[in-house]
Amino acid sequence: MDADLGQDQFFQAWELRNCSDSKPPDFGGFKNRAGENTFTLSVQDLVDAGATGIYARRGRYGGTFAHIDWSIHFANWLSPEFYVLTIEAFRKWNDLVAGREHLQLRFARELAAKSYGFITQANQDRAIPSPPPAMTDIAIPGDRTTLIKRKLSQMHADIVNLAMWKMTAKEFRIKFDPPPDRPTMRDFATAPELETISALQIMLRQLQEQQYSNSEMLDYLTIKAPEILAHYCKTEEQQYLLDRTRDKRGW
């Protein structure tokens, strides 16, 4: 194949990064000849110089074989269109892992943390409406001006966890023994899941004030959770990230 200094620099840079031998390949001779019009570089030349990223095999089932990094490099060199697609793929991956998706995850985590206060706020700080007509087995009798007092506890937070992930915080800790720096399920959640959690917490606040029982609240939120998650997870990219995260964490 025809060669230039850019090709030679790629081969050398890749070998220096990936070669485990203490003695890296010697491409010095290629640099001296790179400016010649007749200069060509064969696979055998690279192998003889000590390259490990490419090799040739003779015989019926022979051929030239290269590491995937080399293959992408050759494709980029031969096809500008493929090079453009490579850049687009890298940018999309970067946005997914460390860019916009990461910022969205931080925002969703903060949103879920703030909306958590909706279900733990003290009753005296709420404007609780008049009791609805008796519809649940724990409806509190009294006149319409009586302040409804409820004891809000971790149980209501676990109602959200059960609706979203089918397990309580305690069950999660027992089953997965999370590290100290990531102690809760929400630390492993995707941005759409955290946005769903935030919405469920606001719904739970309303159900609390309407005096639904714990089992009724759980049944309602369990039905709503997939619907809300589907709303926040609309694109193929978001669905792929959700599926990948679920597979990786095991729940």
Residues 57 and 147 occupy one common structural domain: no
- Decide if 220 is inside a domain: yes
Last residue of a domain, one of 19, 44, 78: 78
Cα 101 from Cα 103, distance rounded (Å): 5
Measure the CA dihedral 188/191/195/196, to 10°. Answer: -60
What domain range is 37 assigned to?
A: 5-78
Residues 184 and 68 occupy one common structural domain: no
pLDDT for 162-197, tens place per residue? 999 999 888 999 999 999 888 889 889 888 898 888
- Decide if 87 is inside a domain: no
- Decide if 44 is inside a domain: yes
CB 134 within 8 A of CB 158: no
Residues 172 and 144 occupy one common structural domain: yes
Query: Closest by alpha carbon to 192, among 133, 73, 104?
Result: 104
Q: How large is the average pLDDT for residues 57-63? A: 78
Residue 59 confidence (pLDDT) above 50: yes
- Decide if 88 is inside a domain: no
- Decide if 86 is inside a domain: no
Number of domains the chain is built from: 2
